[in-house]
Every structure is written in C-alpha cells, then in structure tokens.
Structure 1
C-alpha cells in the first residue's frame, strides 16, 4: 500500500489557520495477545512520528489523550505488533478502538464517523491483500504441475480484480468522505495505478468535487485538485509532444494573463527555466541569465521562466526586485505544479533549451555552457 502519497494529502489538516482545536481521547482494549507497547503515530506532510506510547494493561486496555487537535480531521495510526490502524480524528472526538487476535483483521472503531467508515474499507482491503500473498506463496510448492499453476493463476487473478472492484465501489459510494481520499491511494502489490492508469483521473476528480462540497475550504480539496492537474498533464503529454516536439505549457503571469510557451517560442530559441523565489538561491543565476538575455535577445533568444512557488506576493516581489525582463509565469502550486510533472523535473533549478524547430537541444545549461550553445543556435 502507498501511505506515503496519502501523507501529502494530510498536509494542512493540523495547521489550518483560525480553526478551533480541542482534546481527543483514543482508548480501547486489545485482547488475545501478551501485553506489550502500543503506540500512537501522527502522520504529517514530511514524516510519520510516534507522538505517544503506553503499555497495555493486564486486561488489554490502553488510553491516549491529545490536545490542540484541529477541528478538521487529521490522520493518526494506532500501532501495535507492527500493524497500523488508521484513524481520521478531529477535535472533540472520543474514539474507542478494540481488537481481538489479529489486530487489523478484527478491530472495531466507535466515536468517529470518518474512522468507522475508513475501517469498512481498510479492513477488507488488508484482508484481501493478505489473501493474495497467501495465494502467491503457493506458487513455491514443490513439483508444481502446469495444471496447478493455471489454477493458482486463475484464483489470484479473480481475487485481485474482486478487491479492485470493491475498492472502486467504496470510493464511488462514499465519494464525499475523507475515507474515500485515503482509499484512492491504496495499492495492491505491483500496482502503479488504481484501475487503468490515465483513466484514474475520473475518480480523483469525482472525490475532489464531492469533498469540496461537503467540506468547503478543506485542505484536502487543494491537494486533490493538484493531483488532478498532474494527471491531466500526463494524459495530454503524448499529444503535445507529437504536435510540437516538446510539451506545451500555459501558465499565468503576474498580471493574471495566460502565457503559452509555444507562443513565446515561435521563431525563437527559447530557454524554459524552472526556479523558485521561495528557495532564495535564484539571484545569482538570474543575474547571469540577464546578461545572456541582454546579449542574445536581439538575435532571437527568449526565456519562459516558471516560478515553482506558492506565495504570489513573494514571487511577484522577487520578479520585480530582480527586474527580470522575460516572461515570468507560475501556477502557484509549488512542488505540485503540473509543469514539473510534464517535464519530469526532480530538482530546482532546472532548464531546457528549445531550438527554432521546437526540438529540446539542451538541459540544465548555465553560464558558459549555455552561452556556447546559444552561439551555435543563433546567427
């Protein structure tokens, strides 16, 4: 399963400005095992952190108390015997989590509507994944006949698609629930996509719209919309490349006007440059680029610079203070920008040099190496 990606969707839940906060109580009993440590894990944008721990009492009971918890649901895991029980809790919740025997397979939740709904999906999903593992282990049977191999393949395939159908059913039927957001990001072993690759965007968009209606202003909405934008960008990448030899972009400048990369690049050698005012390391690189721009702009050189930022005032201030003379644009999505996905940019700064024929002829060229390439391309 892919908890890492879902972590990003919990980003602002615990840090929303102006929201009320209160106490949360998580308690219950875990029976049928020897008393041992039980942990409470908080899921944040950057990591999963153990925030509390205790030892089960003789009767298997435990208690966690949290303070200053946001009114908007946040993700926590109750961790016991290397198994995780996910909870979506909000300020004021009094949650009871009980289990007997196998923790994940048998746990129950009361006192949190979102957590109860999440249990409905998660428990069945984990049980199904464990069943798949059990079937897969049988392929190692000694002297496995061809007929037995076919039987196991059929059994595995049937179970695999049964789980996926149930996952889809849960998401569609509970599209306005935050539990559906969690379900979107769970993967069976070997899965890169939820159902059929690019078509997944339909489910992400459906959930994003439904959650926005039920929880106006929820931080999950923005994260889901960014995911939809990335998937849309990837879906359209092939057609854009076939038409232009490079992926086209259309982003907004500081005046709110849409600026298309292909329009800027018409008849020009263009540098597509990715930078960030928020990183604070752009001044020197932009200063060098300004010198090259002054030297070659008259010969047909242009720059289309994409700001990977989230603060519009900070980005505009940097553009104005540095007196950047070229096309400066952004979508204000920071690292969630679809432009990064389209060009597979892993780190900032980065750039791509596109010649007059629309071919990408250089990548991450700076200073002298960029100037040498411009001399070759510009008469």
Structure 2
C-alpha cells in the first residue's frame, strides 16, 4: 500500500454514501407556498417503462430515501416537491447508476443520461450547483482511476523489492493528490456561496493541509448561508483545528522529562522542531519511529530537534519504548494518557500526530511521514 494514509482526497466519501440508504416517511411533496418547490425532469435512454428511479437526501452520514418515480415508455420521469432547506440529493437507479444534484425550492432541473451507465456520464440543465457536482464527479472518477493504477504499480514494485520505484510512485501519488486538490478548489471558487461548495469543502478538502483555504471559504459560507447544515458542519470541524493550523504559534508545553525535570517546548526556540505525539502502546507510532530516527540522525546537527510527548500511563513501558526504539531526543509526559494536558491543549484525538515548528515556534507542516519529513527538512534546512 502507498504510505500516505489518506485516500486520494477522500474520493470514496461521496460515492460510498451513495450505497447506503435508509427509508424515511418524511414527505417532501406538499408545497407550503403556492408555486414553490423543485422539479426534476428526467430523460433516460435504455430504461424500460416502469423502471424505478429514487430520490434520496444526503443526511449527516448517508442518503435518506425521499421519493420514488417510474420511467414511462419514452424514458421520462419527474420528481416534484419541496425541501426544508437547500441540500444535496441523489437521483438513483441502483448503486452503480446515480447522479448527485442540488435542490432548493426554486430548482427546475433537467437531467438526462443512459440508464445503464448513468454514473459514467449524464447532463444537467437549470442548476449551476448540480452542474458543478457533475464536474466534481468527473474529477473524482479520474482521480480514483489514477490512484488505483498507481497502487497496482506500487504493490508490484513492493513485491519485487524495488525501493527506488516505490519511492517514485509515492511521489507521483502525491502529485496526483495536488492536481485533484487544485481542480476541486477551482470548482469551489466558481461557486463560493453554494451549498454544494460547502459540502465539498467539508468532505473533500483536507483541512490539515488546506486550513487557510477551508477557513476562508467557511467565512464566505457563514455570510451567505449561516443556517445551512453544511456551513455549520464545516465551522464545527474547523474551530477545534484553529489552534494547530499551519501558520499558528504552537501552544506552550511544559511537562516532565524521564528524569522528573520539566522541559518547556519553548526552550527549543531557534531550531526547527518536530513536535511528536505518540505512546508506547501505539502500533502505528512505533512503526513510524524508525523513519523519525532516520530523519533525526540526518538533520540533528543542522538546526533540527524533536520534542516527543507521550500519551502513556505506565512509566516503565514509556521508558522501555524510548530505549528499544533508540529515540535519543527530548521526551516529556504527564503519564495521563488521553487526559494529557498537552494532548488536550492540542486537541489530540488520534496518534501518531506531529507538527513541524519553525525557529519562532510557528507551525509550518503537519503529519509528515517517512520521506515527506526528510524532504521538508531538507528544504528548510538548506
């Protein structure tokens, strides 16, 4: 597997939800204002008369069934109703054939496509938000195909023991992530005040790497649609991350080292510092430690230090892990596990978690792993 733990810009998040539907008895077909409401006029080729088409609303974690229509002998179907607020919906024949659309109570949408390959390509008219979602699907599909091809090549290289090829494929994978991120942000910027954009930023943009962009869009969403569920979800996600956003000054930590003496994070000012949250019981942390050791040995005499905060409770196990993994840098802990004062200050909910600080104590990168950490250190410690 490629070492980057994230899927390619969370490609599966929308498509996986497309396969989970819960039945709901909440009707959407009774208009509360004369003339108000949405209409979807569909035209499907290769759909026998009587073919069922389903309309489902995107809930918090899955699609919820809202309405059903039948295709006539000319491939036509229609949905009419009202929505409680502008939201994303799915027009679906089955798990392999579906389209994501945006509806509000003034939407008059025309959707057409081939019933046997609807997900591969369809057209929409009458809704710029729905057209944006169609373009997004094309970007995600292309990215997913690229990621799958790269993973196959990576696994083949790993089986053959070709380390150089594996590293090159990882670099291509990261470049593909960057291209997809740029394409997604371009679509969002074209629709800066839409619910579709708010959903995309919350679900397809990694705020650890793109906090400034996500936060700037959240500001626009709060002004344009403060009551939208997608705006609220994005704001709730970003607010706790503000303290560890790239560009922020790292909060002070002052905990005891193994010899019982307090060591402040700020005592390492003037150097680039990797602030590393880990624990002896954390398998992924221990697996990553050799990469961190390698980076430390390479750069420790060039203005680089490491400040490790353990979320252990057992002092003996903590000290044994330090010795066993050859971690010869600064270590601190209050031995309170997830109740660690430092962990709470930084909003730590999973480990390993690391932040790279500049000599002034500002966060310049997060969660650099393996070659990515060495590459970043090489670029800042010229």
TM-score by length of 2: 0.49
